[in-house]
Amino acid sequence: MSIVPHIVGVLVLLLGVLVSVGLHELGHMVPAKKFGVRVSQYFVGFGPTLWSRTKGETEYGIKAIPLGGFVRLVGMMPPAPEGARRGRGFWNDLVADARDASVAEVRPGEEHRAFYNLSTPKKLAVMFGGPFMNLVIATVLMGVILLGYGVPAVSTTVAQLSECVPASVTSPASGEDCEGRPPAPAVAAGLEPGDEVVSFAGVEVHGWQQLVGLINDAAGQPSQVVVLRDGERVPLEVTPAPADRPVVDETGAPVLDAAGEPVVRQGGFVGFSPLQVRERQPLSAVLPAVGEQTWATATMVATLPVRVADAATQAFTAEERAQDSVQSVVGVARISGQIMALDEAILDRVMIYLSLLASLNIALFVFNMIPLLPLDGGHIVNALYEGAKRTVARVRGAPVLPGPADVARMTPVAYVVFLVLLGVGGVLIVADVVDPVRIT
C-alpha cells in the first residue's frame, strides 16, 4: 500500500489547521488594533521562527511547529495594585514575574494602549473574536457540505432485490440462502432495480420511513404499488409477507433494549433495499446542524477526564478502541491519511475533509471557551468579573471605579491548566500510537 496518499492527507489537514489557527488569531488581532491596543507579534505556529516580516508595529511570521499560534497584545496584565507588597514563595514569584514582563512591554506614554485599560465590552470583543472566527469557519464549511453536497438519505428507489423471504429481514437473500423458502413479494410482483415507489395501497409515498410504515401495516394483505419506471407510472400488486422487523430510530440505527438486543416488532416484508442518495439541505438547516455539533462537542469536553481514561484503557487492554474515542493531533492526522487513501470519489473525500475540518473548528471554539486561563474563556471570565465590579461600584455611587482586575494573580492557575493539558495530550498521543482509531 502506497504511503503517498497518507502523507498528502496529513499535509492537506495541516494546511487546513494552519488556516484555521491563523484566522483564529486574526479574530483577536483585528478588534485589538481597532481599539488601539499595540499588537507586537502575530505568529502561526510555535518554536523557532521560519519566516517573519515586520509591518508597522507588528511582526508577522510562521514558526516551525504547526500546532497553534499566538498574537501578542501589549499589556495583558496591569501593574500591581498601588501599595501591594510582593509575596514570597514560588507561586508569588510566578505572579510577580508575569506581571513585570507584561508591564515591561508597555512603552512610556502608551499606557492608554495597553490591553488592560480597555473597557469590558472591548475586552470581550477581543477575546471572543478568536473562538468566534472558528465558529464562523465551521458554519461556512457546514454550509458548503449541506447546501452543495447534501447528507446521506435513503430514497424510495429500488436498489437491490431479495430473491426470497429470508430467515432475517436485515439483509437481502439469494442463492443457497433461498433453498426451500418462498419467493420475495417484490420479485413476485415484478419490481425491478431502478423502480421508484411513488404510491402504496393508494397512499402517495414521500419518503422511505413512510413507505416502511405502509408496508408494515399491510402485512399479509394484497396491496397496489405504483412505481415510476422509465418515466412512466407502472401499477403492480404486492402482498407483504409477515415478518419480525427491527425497530430503527430517526437516523436508521437499530433500537436496542435494556439487554442490548435489537428491538423487533411484527411487520411486513416486501424484499428490496432502497437506493442510498444524498439530499441537499436548505440554508435554514445550517445553523441547527452547527448548534447540534457544538453541543455534542461541549458534552464531550465536559466528560473529557472520563473519555481520556477510556481511551487509555482501550489502548492498553484487549478492549477495542471506540469509533468516537477522543483523539490527539496524532490520531486526527492518522484519520486524515486514511481519508485520502479511501477508495471513494475525489468529491466524497473532499467533503469528508471539510467535515473533519469543520469538526476541528467547532472543537477549537468549545475548547477555547473553557473559563480557565490561559484559554480565551479565562480572559472572558476575567473581563466579566471586572465589568461586574465596576457596575456594582457605579450603582453604589462610588466616587472612584475599581481599576483593572489583577489577572496576574491567576498565573498559577494558567500553569496548572497548561500542565494538565500537556499530560492529557501525552496520554492521547500514546493511545493513538499504540491503538489508533480506524475509520470504517
CA 344 – CA 367 distance, rounded (Å): 32
Across 356-384, average pLDDT: 93
User: Looking at the DSSP assignment, which residues form a beta bridge with residue 60?
Assistant: 42, 53
What single DSSP character describes residue 254? B
Provide the residue ranges of all domains of the chain, joining segments of one domain with +. 152-279
Which residue, among 186, 247, 184, has the nearest Cα to 213 in the 3D structure? Answer: 247
Encode burial over 72-86: b for 16+ CB neighbours within 10 A, e otherwise: ebbbbbbbbeeeeee
pLDDT tens for 327-339 read: 888 888 888 888 8
CA 408 – CA 102 distance, rounded (Å): 9
CA 66 – CA 18 distance, rounded (Å): 7
Identify the CATH assignment for 152-279 out of 1.10.10.10, 2.30.42.10, 3.40.50.10490, 3.30.2130.10: 2.30.42.10
Which residue, among 342, 362, 363, has the nearest Cα to 352 in the 3D structure? Answer: 342
Contact by Cβ (8 Å): 41, 373: no
- 3-state SS assignment for residue 160: strand
Q: Which residue has the higher pLDDT, 171 or 184?
A: 184
CA 300 – CA 322 distance, rounded (Å): 14
Which pLDDT does position 427 carry in this prediction? 87
Which pLDDT does position 115 carry in this prediction? 93
Annotated catalytic residue 261:
no
CA 25 – CA 120 distance, rounded (Å): 20
Contact by Cβ (8 Å): 286, 143: yes
Is the pLDDT at 401 greater than 80? The verdict is no
- 3-state SS assignment for residue 290: helix
Residue of 25, 105, 176, 319 marked active site: 25
Which residue, among 353, 364, 330, has the nearest Cα to 21 in the 3D structure? Answer: 364
Burial (Cβ within 10 Å: 0-12, 13-18, ≥19) of residue 29: buried
Instruction: Report pTM.
Output: 0.82
Cell of 430: 500514546
- 3-state SS assignment for residue 270: coil
- Please give the full DSSP string across 349-389, using - where no structure is assigned: HHHHHHHHHHHHHHHHHHHHTSSSTTSHHHHHHHHHHHHHH
Q: What is the widest separation between alpha-carbon atoms in the chain?
A: 95
Confidence of residue 2 (pLDDT cuts 50, 70, 90): low
pLDDT tens for 133-175 read: 999 999 999 999 999 998 888 888 998 888 887 765 655 555 5
Separation in Å, CA 11 to CA 66, 174, 333, 345, 356: 11, 45, 9, 19, 14
